[in-house]
Structure 1
Amino acid sequence: MATRTSEPPIDDKLSEFLQGVTLNRSIPLRDQVYALVRNAIVTGKLAPGAPINEFDIAAKLAISRTPVREAVKKVSDEGLIEVFAQNGTFVSGIHRNQVEEAYIIRIALELESIKRAASVITQSQIEDLEDIIEAHAVAVKRSRFDEAIARDDEFHRYIAGVNNLHMLWKAVDVSKAQMDRCRLLSLPSPGAGLQTIAQHRAILAALASHDAAASMQALQTHLETSLGNTLTYLDANPDGPAVAKS
């Protein structure tokens, strides 16, 4: 880890993002700092190459450096931050191979999740998923893309929760960090949000009929479409500011 003198100053956008943040001292500080920094990167508030200065983050949040160091290490483990011993810590670019690997992991885990959910899902749970889809549609219609992605994740997380597979979703969530960054970049493209909603409705229809095979097929089609859209975006924007060149 870089020393105090070699670390770059805090990025203006991160400083703005942290302005007014109050941490809850009753829950682990590192988890809160992790969520803040990860969210800033995933939503593009911190661009690739932006400096991450642990000392200044700690000062801004009025906490010790230890929970910040632990949080940054966790974000780094997800491939969102690169640490250079002599130069400092910076937001990483998006790596195509990491995006593809994330989808491989996600598809495998979620297919198992939905197969189990199809046989036990209740009418009440079906209605909850319907509500999530409707909220997602409103967010897309109003071009609230951060909210649209949150509702998208909520839909998938809820399905994992039907069988209390919360650790499964946690594994998916950790693995898809680079994927999430691409989603925010590509979602404003014409029809992308509407396509996702239509595919969610197809998934829900299969779940409502308790058809495991159809549910798995609908989910796989949805995730493979998402991967295809993401790779198309990356191929069309090879010199984009978020795309890693190596």
Structure 2
Amino acid sequence: MTDYALSEHKRDPGRWEALFKELQREIIFGTLRPRERLVEDEIIARLDATRHAVRRAFAELERVGLVIRMPNRGVQVRDYTLVEVEELYEIREILEARAARRMSLPAPKRLLEELGSIAEAHARASREERYLDIFLLNNEFHEKLYGHCGNGLLAEAIKSYTFASHPIRSRGFPDAELRRLAVEEHRQILDALAGGDADALAKLCVAHIQRPKDYYLRANRMLAQSATP
């Protein structure tokens, strides 16, 4: 680390984490669009950040799959081809089904209560169209759910691939029917956790992630068709 970077770090401890969360939010909700370049100087000026913080935030965004580094073009918001979306969700299906089948059922009462509380908060956020809260609470629900699988590395892998699909999942938040179904599916997952059928739980978990993916694919196919002369 250079003396300059070290002095920035001391002057601005932890700022990169707040900056990472803000840029993540902007990517997820479309303020920063797919393939858009992230220019250090512009972000420094717009968000009153240090260069050290921007570079650390970029590194974290790259780690979770939200941006990529392009040769001679710097950092840009990641865009997925339709094939890549299918491949990403195939991996998620495999991981999440495996985690569900590993779970000890019926789930402990305390876990069911904690997940139920999160699900209710998520349902309220959905009714009130608080999209950022929907996003955060949904993440919290699934992280706690898969934390019950008994394999920390598997739970962490699920979290990583879920991060990578954030821009895909968030595309459907404005759709009221998609939100309603997500709320209902959370309740079904809770019911399955309280029962003893791991295969049924696995099928629910896999089905739950299909709707946002399908919504994203339909929207992109329609966009491609409308752009065709």
User: What TM bracket, shorter-length normalisation?
Assistant: 0.7 to 0.9
Following superposition of structure 1 onto structure 2, how do residues 198-217 of structure 1 map, counting pairs within 5 Å? 198-217=184-203
What SS is found at the alignment partner of 2:76? strand
Supply the distance in 2 between the matched residues of 1:159 and 1:174 (Cα, whole angstroms): 15
Following superposition of structure 1 onto structure 2, how do residues 117-136 of structure 1 map, counting pairs within 5 Å? 117-119=103-105, 121-136=107-122
Cα separation, partners in 2 of 1:82 and 1:212, compared to 1, 3 Å: closer
Aligned length: 216
**2:216 is matched with which residue?**
230
What is the root-mean-square deviation in Å for CA atoms of aligned residues? Answer: 3.0
**1:34 is matched with which residue?**
20
Contact 1:118 1:211 in 2 (8 A): no
Supply the distance in 1 between the matched residues of 2:31 and 2:155 (Cα, whole angstroms): 24
1:168 to 2:154 alignment? yes
1:99 to 2:89 alignment? no
**1:180 is matched with which residue?**
166
Supply the distance in 2 between the matched residues of 1:101 and 1:143 (Cα, whole angstroms): 30
Supply the distance in 1 between the matched residues of 2:80 and 2:114 (Cα, whole angstroms): 34
Supply the distance in 1 between the matched residues of 2:80 and 2:74 (Cα, whole angstroms): 19
Q: How far has the Cα of 1:173 moved from its partner?
A: 3.1
Supply the distance in 1 between the matched residues of 2:132 and 2:57 (Cα, whole angstroms): 22
Deviations 1:191-235 (A, max 9, x none): 101111111111111110132122112212222344333322322
1:68 to 2:67 alignment? no
Supply the distance in 2 between the matched residues of 1:49 and 1:223 (Cα, whole angstroms): 24
Contact 1:182 1:230 in 2 (8 A): yes
Q: In percent, how many aligned pairs have the same letter?
A: 25
Q: In the alignment, which of 115, 120, 136 is matched to residue 150 of structure 1?
A: 136
Deviations 1:119-143 (A, max 9, x none): 2621121111111221111111111
Deviations 1:165-209 (A, max 9, x none): 454343223323453212222222241011111111111111101
Supply the distance in 2 between the matched residues of 1:133 and 1:180 (Cα, whole angstroms): 19
Q: Which runs of 5+ in 2 are unaligned?
A: 1-10
What SS is found at the alignment partner of 1:188? coil
**2:98 is matched with which residue?**
112
**2:177 is matched with which residue?**
191
Q: TM-score, normalised by structure 1?
A: 0.73
Higher helix content, 1 or 2: 2
Q: How far has the Cα of 1:102 moved from its partner?
A: 2.1
**2:5 is matched with which residue?**
none
Supply the distance in 2 between the matched residues of 1:159 and 1:182 (Cα, whole angstroms): 21
